[in-house]
Every structure is written in C-alpha cells, then in structure tokens.
Amino acid sequence: MVLLSSDIFTLIHCATTLPYPPSSPNHPKMVCLAGKGDFMSNINIPPTAEEIAAAKAAGKISATMTTNKGVISIELDGAEAPLHVANFVKLAKSGFYNGVVFHRVVENFVIQTGDPQGTGMGGPGYQINFEKNALQHCDGALGMARSQDPNSAGSQFYICLGPQHFLDANYVVFGKATAGLDVVKKIAQGDVVESVVIN
C-alpha cells in the first residue's frame, strides 16, 4: 500500500477498487493512494439508524439509472443489505450520482462509477462498514466497491458483466440490474450517469 501525505493532501478515502479478475495479469494487485480530500466541506453523513431500518422494512426498492447510453432499471435489496441500500438511496436522492462518470470498465468483469472525482479515489466524505449477506455476484449484480479495508465503502459501486462469483462474500452485493443489461454492456470508460432516481 502506498500512501501519499502532505499538507495539501488529506487521507480521507483510499482508491476504491475491485481486485482484477483472476485471468488478469494484474490480479490480485491492489492500489490504494491517499487522495485529495473530496467533499471536505460536504454535509453528507452516513445513513442514520432510521434510514437503515426503513430500507430493511421496504425490502425491494426500484431505481432508474439514466446514462448517456440508455436506461438501466435497478432493484435494490433492502432486506439483505439495509445499510448499503440506505446509503445508495440517500446519495441518489441528494443528486450525488448525477453527472459522475464510469471511471473503470473492465471487459467481462465490471463497470464502475460513483466517484465525484472520476479517478477512482473519491467518495462522499465518509465510509460504511462491510455488510455480510447471501447475495451473489450474478450477471448484472450491483455491488459496492471499496479499498483493501472491508469497512471502506462509500459511494462507488459496480455492475457485473457476467457472473463474478469469486467476489462473493468479499464484496457487498446490494441489488441487481433488472432491465437494460444491453445498456450495461455498452458502457465505456468516460460514459456518464445522468441521473439515479429512486422510484
């Protein structure tokens, strides 16, 4: 792990990423750099106990992600991952995801977005804890990216391009794409999330 620190840079959030797939020559290399403090004056805070309880009680929650390539329909599973769903819902409702880019696209693996910096090093200014559940990394699964620390997720998330079961139990799945998988497969690095609406 390489950490860069100075008076200018503040260690708030390490590079949030997934390991490369086993077939990649880079697997299992992970890079974690301290980033310039993003959203340092941001008032965003983690989900409250009430918001987490509401996500759990709601169970399945639908969301619509509009990208420059088309629309992706999402089903969030609040019963299995209430913390992560509450976090995603809170950020989406605040407009946090509007205009962020897909900064990482790995063919036959994942597309990743949710970083306001667009570098893979940004986040909402806080982190949430790992949340063990039974959801699997199937085709279209929605999961939360993080650094090597299991309790370092924030706002970055990924959608699986095909089954990625080697990630099961190591990364938190909190939903899935129920429609628009053709759009998911068209996404290229630099494409934009125009909006995420909780239905």
**Could you give the C-alpha distances from 135 to 86, 132, 165, 172, in angstroms and in order?**
16, 9, 10, 8
Q: What tens digit of pLDDT does each residue of 40-87 get?
A: 334 478 999 999 999 999 999 999 999 999 999 999 999 999 999 999
Q: How far apart are CA 31 and CA 76, in angstroms?
A: 29
Which residue do the tokens 């962020």 mark? 100
Q: In angstroms, rounded to a whole number, what is the distance separating the alpha carbons of residues 20 and 26?
A: 6
CA gyration radius, the chain: 16
Which of the following CATH numbers is that of domain 49-198: 1.10.645.10, 1.10.420.10, 2.40.100.10, 3.40.50.40? 2.40.100.10
User: pLDDT digits over 80-139, tens only?
Assistant: 999 999 999 999 999 999 999 999 999 999 999 999 999 999 999 999 999 999 999 999
Q: For strand 141-144 and strand 157-160, is the pairing parallel, antiparallel, or unpaired?
A: antiparallel
**pLDDT of res. 15:** 47
Name the residue among 81, 85, 105, 89 with its Cα closest to residue 169: 81
Q: Between 156 and 35, name the one with better pLDDT.
A: 156
Q: Does residue 127 sit in helix, strand or coil?
A: coil
In this structure, are residues 100 and 113 in contact, taking their beta carbons and an 8 Å threshold? yes
Look at residue 44 in the predicted model and tell me its pLDDT.
72
Q: For residue range 21-31, what is the model confidence (pLDDT) as tens digits?
A: 544 444 333 33
Residue 88 carries which side chain, given as an amino acid letter?
A: F
The pLDDT, as a whole number, for residue 137 is 97
Q: Which residues pair with 61 in a beta bridge?
A: 76
Eight-class DSSP state of 101: B
- pLDDT tens sequence across 153-196: 999 999 999 999 999 999 999 999 999 999 999 999 999 999 99
pLDDT (average), residues 142-150:
95
Q: Which residues contact 91 (CB under 8 A, 6 or more apart)?
A: 44, 97, 114, 124, 155
